[in-house]
A = this chain, B = another copy of it.
């Protein structure tokens, strides 16, 4: 198998992986309508006749196609709805107001759209039903802050949190405790209406209290934990004072904790994950098998620093090359999850591009292909989703006088791969189930 056919195989596999987690398709796979009953794949049945009005609220980069699908399923039972999506991720949907806002950094439109939506929710009664659609990006796109905290403070906080090496769980714990809607608090606004939440998981382990900061899910984290995370990463002096004040006030019991699982508001809430990373990996596996590869899905829960993970990827590729372990050549190894990068340089890139560059830097001797790709089509603040490397990339780079080590040291993977044309560019995919990595060993 030559370099070109390796590339072609990888493109086919990646395409299948992304298609399987298309949010529009996922809704139809999850819900069948029989007359006025909705029958969910997961076992629930909902009788629409029992509700006076059915509304929709979608939050996240991928909710536009989900809303279109739900609107089709509900047909005239749907009264109205709102979706809040990332800029350029909107699609017009019948009866639905589309709002666009900032991501990954929340902006004025985040606050405006949220405020508008929360006002509408005030009119709901206990005979109403709200479909809440959630995908990745929901944490930034939907936000109501305490009166003393300004958007600028939140932006500063997010930048610090994303840059300090904290896990998404830790970041969300803090976000929830300076928010009026995260960590189950949206359910307070919707109550007494009923809630059915359909979520596309962009988090390791598919924990509903984490996806989009779990707006309709009980939150077991506390103000105390939020403060301890800030200590752990030694960012006390970087975080705006008014945010620290909010957390300290909460810790001292001056403001309400996020709602816990015994809160009555959750009696009328059904939460479901309808799409996740493993679904994507399984579709990739099926395609790879059809292309003649022996396949192995390793995990959909990969986490850790890119620099160290690249050593694990190296170990796996070299062992397959050398001894056909853990899977025989021609082999396709599939991994999902969300690595992290501790940024120290000033270059341009994202975790997927940097992982590919780190693996390349190991200079594995025999033929292979490796790609890492964000399923949402965005990798860091770039227009690429990831990058793809093969055994031949090193030589190609030498011809163009690109020094992989130097670009890596400067966190500048984008500008390394761009002239090589080895960036993966999908455009917005409107889905988000974290990242997938594919290794092909011919």
Binding site for B on A (CB under 8 A): 204-205, 278, 296-305, 307-309, 311-312, 314-316, 318-319, 322-323, 325-326, 337
Contact = CB atoms under 8 A, between A and B. Distances in A.
Contacts of A305: 305, 308
B304 A312 contact: yes
Contacts of A297: 325-326
A85 B296 CA distance: 42
Contacts of A326: 296-299, 326
A300 B319 contact: yes
A302 B315 contact: yes
Contacts of A298: 298, 316, 319, 325-326
Contact of A319 (B301, B308, B309, B312): B301
6 contacts: A297-B325, A299-B315, A301-B314, A301-B318, A302-B311, A305-B308
A315 B297 CA distance: 12
A205 B315 CA distance: 9
A307 B311 CA distance: 13
A308 B304 contact: yes
Given A296-B326, A298-B319, A299-B319, 5 more contacts: A205-B318, A278-B325, A302-B315, A303-B314, A304-B309
B323 A278 contact: yes
A314 B302 CA distance: 8
Contacts of A314: 301, 303
A325 B303 CA distance: 16
Contacts of A301: 314-315, 318-319
Of A298, A307, A318, most B-chain CB atoms within 10 Å: A298
A139 B323 CA distance: 28
A228 to B, nearest CB: 11
Nearest to A319: B299
A323 B309 CA distance: 22
Contacts of A308: 304-305, 307-309
Contact of A303 (B299, B300, B304, B311): B311
A298 B299 CA distance: 12
Contact of A312 (B205, B312, B325): B312
A299 B311 CA distance: 11
B304 A316 contact: no
Nearest to A281: B325
A329 B300 CA distance: 17
A322 B207 CA distance: 13
Contacts of A322: 205
A405 to B, nearest CB: 10
A20 to B, nearest CB: 15
Contacts of A205: 318, 322
A401 to B, nearest CB: 19
Nearest to A296: B326
Contacts of A316: 298-299
A312 B315 CA distance: 13
Of A302, A304, A316, A323, most B-chain CB atoms within 10 Å: A304
Nearest to A362: B303
